[in-house]
Amino acid sequence: MYRYIVIFEKTNDGYSASVPALPGCVAMADTKKEIEELIYKTILFHIEGMKEEGLEIPEENDIEVETMVFA
């Protein structure tokens, strides 16, 4: 089982989501519910493509994540 951090962002047109550990794994949708469903399917599709290409599937702990707050 893979576990990844997903970054959700509210945009002018809806929502976007990206997975830092899987470069290029992004999705856009109109609602929060839609983006949650879509990014899940996108992650599965992305991993499937990597497996078919014989690429190593990164583990989440392969990346460093930090949150910064600016006031």
In a domain, 24, yes or no: yes
Q: Tokens 């930090």 identify what position?
A: 66
Q: For the residues 3-21, what does the mean pLDDT come to? A: 94
Residue 40, domain member (yes or no)? yes
Count how many domains the chain has: 1
**Domain around 20:** 7-55
pLDDT of the residue at 47? 96
pLDDT (tens digit per residue) in 22-54: 999 999 999 999 999 999 999 999 999 999 999
47 and 25 in contact (C-beta within 8 Å)? Answer: no
Examine the pLDDT at 61 and tell me if it is beyond 80: no
Is residue 60 a part of any domain in this protein? Answer: no
Global pTM reads 0.82
Q: Is residue 64 part of a domain?
A: no
Mean pLDDT of the region 7-25:
94
The CA-based angle 65-70-71, given to 5 degrees, is 155
Residue 61 within a domain:
no
